[in-house]
Amino acid sequence: MKLIVGLGNPGKKYEDTRHNVGFHVIDQCAKNLNITLNQEKWKGLFGYETIGGEKVFLLKPLTYMNLSGEAVRPLIDFYKIEIDNVLVVYDDLDLPPGKIRLRQKGGHGGHNGIKSMLAHLGTENFKRIRVGIGRPEPGIAVANYVLSTFPPSEKQDVHESVQHAANACESWLSKDFLNVMNSFN
């Protein structure tokens, strides 16, 4: 079994914000893989299908970003998903819009959603796809920036990075993550 988690904030208010690119990647994966996100349980919205003989789960935590791990841990425990089979997709200030980076493990890098994941999973050994959202201009608070929408000049780059990240997720379903990293980084 594999689990792909996209981090974001629930609700219309946050739908198109920079912080929600993880949700957008999950939506694209759901479309590409024909998975319907129709189960709301354990503070998350998820769905799954059997692909290539393996159950593949897609999850959007409904806890708000800072508590994301609260939705992930119960699903992992109930379905007995190995941490090595968990991939988390989230926004990253250190990458420009349009860029993605895959990592096999790591710290939180100041990202509160990943801090929550680390706390609830008890390990940093889960796979990640970081989707670039860029840094704010001087004088703009990071909290305000991540909750802002992308300007028209960045929308095409972001759309392409969401597609690229979803393709990387799909590739991971049939390939070793190191190979996926080599192809997509």
Residue 66 annotated as part of some ligand binding site: yes
Digit-coded pLDDT (tens) for 88-103: 999 999 999 999 999 9
Contact 104, 130 (CB under 8 A): no
63 pLDDT exceeds 90? yes
Is the pLDDT at 164 greater than 90? The verdict is: yes
Catalytic positions, written as ranges: 19
Structural domains for the chain: 2-184 (3.40.50.1470)
What's the pTM value of the predicted model, to 2 decimals? 0.96
d(CA 26, CA 80): 21
The response to whether 145 counts as a known ligand-binding position is no
Cα–Cα distance between 123 and 140 in angstroms, integer? 32
In this predicted model, what pLDDT tens digit does every residue of 115-132 receive, in sequence order? Answer: 999 999 999 999 999 999
* pLDDT at res. 110: 85
Residue 14 counted as an annotated binding residue: yes
Tell me what the pLDDT averaged over the chain comes to.
96
Mean pLDDT of 10-16: 94
Token pair belonging to 32: 């590409």
Longest dimension (CA), the chain: 51
Residue 169: pLDDT band by 50, 70, 90 thresholds? very high
Residue 114 reports pLDDT greater than 90: yes
pLDDT, one tens digit per residue, over 124-154 is 999 999 999 999 999 999 999 999 999 999 9
Beta partners for residue 4, in sequence order? 58, 87
Q: How many CB atoms lie within 10 A of CB 48?
A: 20
List, for residues 17-36, the tens digit of each pLDDT value: 999 999 999 999 999 999 99
